[in-house]
Amino acid sequence: LAKTTQPISMDSYEGQEVNITCSHNNIATNDYITWYQQFPSQGPRFIIQGYKTKVTNEVASLFIPADRKSSTLSLPRVSLSDTAVYYCLVGDGGNTGTASKLTFGTGTRLQVTL
């Protein structure tokens, strides 16, 4: 089962771009990479998901190199409200019988200040 490693914490100023990297060295061929955001006392909230190269939505971009052993979540122009914990999640390949066992990392605590 693929494990993930993220920095424990990061600091940023408001308006800057923030990049959070997740390592997943033993990712399986069919695994997808998903990022979630969590505020205190709330459930995680989906941000973005990808398989390879680059994915972009209205809130973030996800960069995945060719070897897929890592991924980078990019948050453009963060604001104070982006202060949260960000989780990288790897899984699953969708093979019937082994699918959907999902592993979260320990998360990166992002602190945004003025």
Nearer residue to another protein within complex by CB, 7 or 93? 93
Q: How far is the CB of 95 from another protein (least distance, A)?
A: 7
Tell me whether residue 16 or residue 26 sits nearer to another protein (CB atom): 26
Residue burial 6-25, b: 16+ Cβ < 10 Å; e: rest: beeebebeeeeebebbbebe
Is 83:12 a contact under the CB 8 Å cutoff?
A: no
Question: Are 73 and 19 spatial neighbours (Cβ–Cβ below 8 Å)?
Answer: yes
Least distance CB 35 / another protein (angstroms): 11
Distances (CA, A) of 64 to 23, 34, 50, 55, 90: 11, 11, 8, 9, 12
Q: Which is nearer to another protein, 14 or 102 (CB)?
A: 102
Which residues here bind another protein, judged by CB under 8 A? 1, 32, 34, 36, 41-46, 49, 87, 91-96, 99-107
User: Smallest distance, Å, CB 70 to another protein?
Assistant: 18
Min separation Cβ 54 and another protein, Å: 19
